[in-house]
A and B are shown apart, each in its own frame.
Chain A
Amino acid sequence: MIGTKTRALVALLLVVSVLVSGLLVAGCSKAEKEPIKIGVIGPFTGPNAKPGGRMKEGIELAVEEINAKGGINGRKIVAIFEDDASQPAQSVAAAEKLTTRDEVLLVIGAYNSACVLAHMQVTEREKTPQINPIAVATAITESGNKYMFRNCATNPMQVSQLADYVLKNFNFQKFAMLFENTDYGRGIAEVFGASVRQAGKQVVAEEAYNIGDTDFYSQLTKIKNLGPDALLIGGNLTEGSQIARQARELGLNVQLMGLGGLSSPEFDQLCDGANEGLICTSYFEVGTDDPLVKKFVEAYEKKFGKPPEMFAAAAYEAVYIAEEAIKKAGEHKNLAEWRQAVRDALAKIKDLPGVQGPTTFDEKGQADKKVYIVQWKNHEKVILYPTGK
């Protein structure tokens, strides 16, 4: 009996001490205000930890470079990373923490559209400017939020570019679509399907899958029987690579098409050759002659030992957009005024060179970005559009 009592006492003390130490840590907050703080929200754990990690690397590299040059207006910058694990509720908590506890000057993030849609009301209410480098849902910049800026092409922008290219250059009659059952995937299917129908062609199959699915034989078997000429994969690289591989296994020999994530080297590696001939859009290409891109690729490879991909590039670019705006905004003692000045500077950015091409924000905060159209050939990407670059 004494045993259980002692154990209970020990356990109680343990819990109390954990809570008390937690409150103490929480209680003593920051004292000095030296470096400029930038908050970053992304999925550093959970199902999207992989692209989240790339995003983090891009930001780390840009911060390091800027600090090596002496920072912004003579002050170093520091990035504070907060994980949202792709959960909207956690994303809101992360945004609350960054804007009101860490008092960051601006926020970069996140990865999932649902997370950005959930936490953008926090950054808006705190009047904190936010640069969104990755989440593509149109609603993010269509909401009238004056503090939201996006430096990547939206879903409709890239999907319609892909559809235009394919419809113009190939004589496909029947299209199939296999897309993830999310905002992202459904958005792709909607825009692509509309373009196809408008061109007088047929959509023979629209099949969905959930994130985390591994087996697509059932959907692909069904698609195969409908005899399409081309298959659009509306999803990310983990599931996309499985779809490509299983399509090959099933002998579904049609033109494969995809978006964004399917242009990454990881996708190629996971596909094991099943991506041969796949056409997809790409925000960022390592192999272009742009000196900015060359410098970025070199520095990234030196630091991380692998070539950068689109998410790293987008996040890297976002930090430089932030740098430009902070520089233009100048020094402010009052955080609220400073944030407002940075927001106004962001809105005025025009033709700022970046690794994804020049950035100019429209009145909604959306940057007008072009995308590449590339084709996988023997584990390398061939740029189909724009040609002659």
Chain B
Amino acid sequence: MQNFIQQVMNGLVLGSVYALIALGLTMIYGVLGLINWAHGEFYMVGAFVGYILAVRMGLPYFVALVGAMLIMAVFGIVVERVVFLPLRGRPNMNVIIGTLGLSVFLLDGANLTMGPDPVRFPSIYTDQFIRVLGISFTVQRLLVVIVTLVLIAVLRLFIRNHKLGKAMRACSQDLQAASLMGIEINHVAMITAAIAASLAAAAGTLIGPIFLVNPQMSIAAVGKAFAVTILGGLGNVEGAVVAGFTLGLAESLTVAYISSYLKEIVAFAILITTLVFKPEGIFGKHSVEKV
């Protein structure tokens, strides 16, 4: 039982990160209709920005977290203008190659400027332990789960109630109709990219102190994010959250009760099974033939 609770806790931490990364990916798809193959790099760049603010500049951890999210929001807007805009409405193939170009550029750019060496990103919460009922974790891990849940709640309120949030929903249903209704597509596109990038930054800055920060972290993240996005339904925000936690728990429990060799396969098995049997995702209302 104790083992089970510990593994569930481990799964929740992993799931939080998957959910945050997948949220941005799914929102960009929902609103802009393009798959951002550089999304793993958004997460990596966000982690480095958080690292620079917190460790190199010595800002308090929460200031660095908010700072990284704001800086990455600006970064997201720049990427939307420079990269996504020229690709908007282009055939799928061109979008893939274009954003892959961005991905290669950011990954190797980070290798050049920050160096390939992993760096430690300590926060004051990494050395505080919580030990209850024989299970053990650091305060930072608890923080990951809590901050993730708060961010998700705020995002939900924004999408439901704010004017721009409603505009985003309208765009994700039908971009052309939304534009005819007088919604300024360019604004919505920029806001979406900004939110997606800042969520990725939050994921990076939250997880950085638990693991290490290096340019390669983007590669492992992106495959998982795709699996989560598909399981939740492409473009489905609630779905991404549920699917993120599902994958986190599935991985953790697979290692615990089956075999650690299978950990990496879980994500892709979920991905393929979903696509074959229910491509619209567990909550899917979206048409499979979007685009």
Q: Indicate if A touches B (C-beta under 8 A).
A: yes
Residues 91-110 of chain B, each 1 if its beta carbon lies under 8 Å from chain A, else 0: 00000000000000000100
Binds A, one of B25-33, B49-57, B73-81, B211-219: B211-219
Asked whether any CB of chain A lies closer than 8 Å to the CB of B280, the reply is no
Is the beta-carbon distance between B120 and A221 smaller than 8 angstroms?
A: no
| Distance in Å: Cβ of A17 to nearest Cβ of chain B | 19
Asked whether any CB of chain B lies closer than 8 Å to the CB of A242, the reply is yes
| Distance in Å: Cβ of A15 to nearest Cβ of chain B | 14
Q: How large, as a class, is the contact surface on chain B?
A: 35 or more
* Given known contacts A181-B261, A217-B10, A222 and B256 CB-to-CB distance under 8 angstroms: yes
Closest-by-CB residue of A relative to B129 is: A249
A225–B10 Cα distance when bound, in Å, is 15
A179–B16 Cα distance when bound, in Å, is 26
Is the beta-carbon distance between A221 and B220 smaller than 8 angstroms?
A: no
* Given known contacts A221-B256, A251-B136, A215 and B216 CB-to-CB distance under 8 angstroms: no
Asked whether any CB of chain B lies closer than 8 Å to the CB of A270, the reply is yes
Is the beta-carbon distance between A214 and B116 smaller than 8 angstroms?
A: no
Asked whether any CB of chain B lies closer than 8 Å to the CB of A213, the reply is yes
Pick from B3, B120, B136, B207: contact of A249, CB under 8 Å: B136
A49–B215 Cα distance when bound, in Å, is 11
* Given known contacts A207-B260, A215-B10, A272 and B255 CB-to-CB distance under 8 angstroms: no
| List of A residues within 8 angstroms of B179 by Cβ | none
| List of B residues within 8 angstroms of A112 by Cβ | none
Residues 106-127 of chain B, each 1 if its beta carbon lies under 8 Å from chain A, else 0: 0010010000111010100000
Asked whether any CB of chain A lies closer than 8 Å to the CB of B35, the reply is no
Asked whether any CB of chain A lies closer than 8 Å to the CB of B174, the reply is no
| List of A residues within 8 angstroms of B108 by Cβ | 45
Is the beta-carbon distance between A221 and B263 smaller than 8 angstroms?
A: no
* Given known contacts A218-B251, A219-B260, A49 and B111 CB-to-CB distance under 8 angstroms: yes
Asked whether any CB of chain B lies closer than 8 Å to the CB of A209, the reply is yes
Is the beta-carbon distance between B120 and A212 smaller than 8 angstroms?
A: no
Is the beta-carbon distance between A49 and B116 smaller than 8 angstroms?
A: yes
A270–B209 Cα distance when bound, in Å, is 11
Asked whether any CB of chain A lies closer than 8 Å to the CB of B264, the reply is yes
| Distance in Å: Cβ of A206 to nearest Cβ of chain B | 9
Asked whether any CB of chain A lies closer than 8 Å to the CB of B173, the reply is no
Asked whether any CB of chain A lies closer than 8 Å to the CB of B252, the reply is yes
A272–B209 Cα distance when bound, in Å, is 12
Closest-by-CB residue of A relative to B220 is: A212
| Distance in Å: Cβ of A203 to nearest Cβ of chain B | 15
A251–B120 Cα distance when bound, in Å, is 21
| Distance in Å: Cβ of A179 to nearest Cβ of chain B | 10
Pick from A208, A225, A249, A250: contact of B260, CB under 8 Å: A208
Is the beta-carbon distance between A269 and B120 smaller than 8 angstroms?
A: yes
Is the beta-carbon distance between B3 and A225 smaller than 8 angstroms?
A: yes
Q: Which residues between 1 and 56 of chain B lie within 8 Å of chain A, taking CB atoms? A: 2-3, 6-7, 10-11, 13-14
Is the beta-carbon distance between A214 and B111 smaller than 8 angstroms?
A: no
Residues 56-95 of chain B, each 1 if its beta carbon lies under 8 Å from chain A, else 0: 0000000000000000000000000000000000000000
| Distance in Å: Cβ of A245 to nearest Cβ of chain B | 9
Pick from A47, A218, A222, A250: contact of B216, CB under 8 Å: A47
Pick from A210, A221, A272: contact of B264, CB under 8 Å: A210
Is the beta-carbon distance between A214 and B131 smaller than 8 angstroms?
A: no
Chain B residues engaging chain A, CB cutoff 8 angstroms = 2-3, 6-7, 10-11, 13-14, 108, 111, 116-118, 120, 122, 129, 131, 136-138, 207, 210-212, 214, 216-217, 219-220, 251-252, 255-256, 260-261, 263-264
